[in-house]
Structure 1
Amino acid sequence: MRLIIRYFFRTLRLILTPFMLIGEKFSTPESVARAPEEQARVDRACENLALYQFSACPFCIKVRKEMARLGLNIETRDAQHNEKHREALATGGGRVKVPCLLIRDDNGSEQWLYESDDIRAWLQQQFEPAAG
């Protein structure tokens, strides 16, 4: 019975994945507009960030949409199909759970931030342009 349930959910994922990715493509918001020098500052700050994710994970999609809205060029790392990234997530973050944002300080310390809402809130706090 367990095997049947496992294959049922694998098949369901195979069927739904293309629809989720197409939906992400069509529903991703426009990026905020920044002055070139401000965008360059944001891009430099994003060099210290990496998002560990699965391509069809709905919570990862939510974070990627927020990254697109904020115009963030954050490296995405596939922890589902890339063993090196999966191992780095397990070792550094303590568990293989996505999405997870790796935040490196200039002094070399690392913070592993889990939960899509927490990641989105952190990104907004750091990169949301001032209203005006």
Structure 2
Amino acid sequence: MAIIRWILGRIILLLNFVFSPSGTKRSAPEQQKIDLATQHLSLYQYEACPFCVKVRRAIKRNSLKIELRDAKNNPTHREQLLTCGGAMKVPCLRIEQQGEVKWLYESNDIIQYLEQEIVAA
């Protein structure tokens, strides 16, 4: 089963590379405003997870600069996700606002948050 997952993961990464979305073009001040809004965000993810790929594609499509944290291969990020986020589940968006930290799971919820709270703001 692990071999099948590894092969499928590589196929997902290849297709994502080949059909990578182009980013949104904005004026420099608009992009700077978006970049400032994303400074407090980080995405805990696995490289070949299809739901993580879905979120990363939305990030790229919207030209967002969000720190990606590898929760599979980096023990520090994995421990932060488990301890602070409460579950070893990816993708997970860590949102820091006014000193409070919120952990948002589920790819559709993450994409909706990014498009409504960051891009549309």
Shorter-chain TM-score category?
over 0.9
Q: Measure the CA separation in 1 of the matches of 2:6 and 2:23.
A: 30
Aligned to 1:104: 96
Q: Any stretches of 5+ residues in structure 1 without a counterpart?
A: 1-8
Q: Any stretches of 5+ residues in structure 2 without a counterpart?
A: none
Selected match of 1:121 from 97, 101, 112: 112
Determine if the alignment matches structure 1 residue 53 to structure 2 residue 45.
Answer: yes
Aligned to 1:88: 80
Change (3 A) 1:120 1:13: same
Selected match of 2:2 from 5, 10, 15: 10
How far the C-alpha of 1:119 sits from its partner, in A, is 0.3
Aligned to 1:40: 32
Q: Is the 8 A contact 1:70 1:127 kept in 2?
A: no
- Alpha carbon RMSD of aligned pairs, Å? 1.3
Q: Is the 8 A contact 2:34 2:119 kept in 1?
A: no
Q: Deviations for 1:41-97, whole angstroms, at most 9, x for unmatched residues?
A: 111111100000000000000000000010001000000111100000011110110
Q: Which amino acid aligns with 1:73?
A: K
Aligned to 1:67: 59
How far the C-alpha of 1:128 sits from its partner, in A, is 3.1
Instruction: Normalising by structure 1, report the TM-score.
Output: 0.87
Q: Secondary structure at the match of 1:72?
A: coil
Q: Larger C-alpha radius of gyration, 1 or 2?
A: 1
Aligned to 1:6: none
Query: How many equivalent pairs are there?
Result: 121
Q: Is the 8 A contact 1:53 1:99 kept in 2?
A: yes
Q: Measure the CA separation in 2 of the matches of 1:79 and 1:110.
A: 18
Q: Measure the CA separation in 1 of the matches of 2:111 and 2:20.
A: 15
Q: Measure the CA separation in 1 of the matches of 2:79 and 2:55.
A: 21
Q: Which amino acid aligns with 1:116?
A: S
How far the C-alpha of 1:129 sits from its partner, in A, is 5.1
Q: Is the 8 A contact 2:35 2:64 kept in 1?
A: yes
Instruction: Normalising by structure 2, report the TM-score.
Output: 0.95
How many percent of aligned residue pairs carry the same amino acid? 45
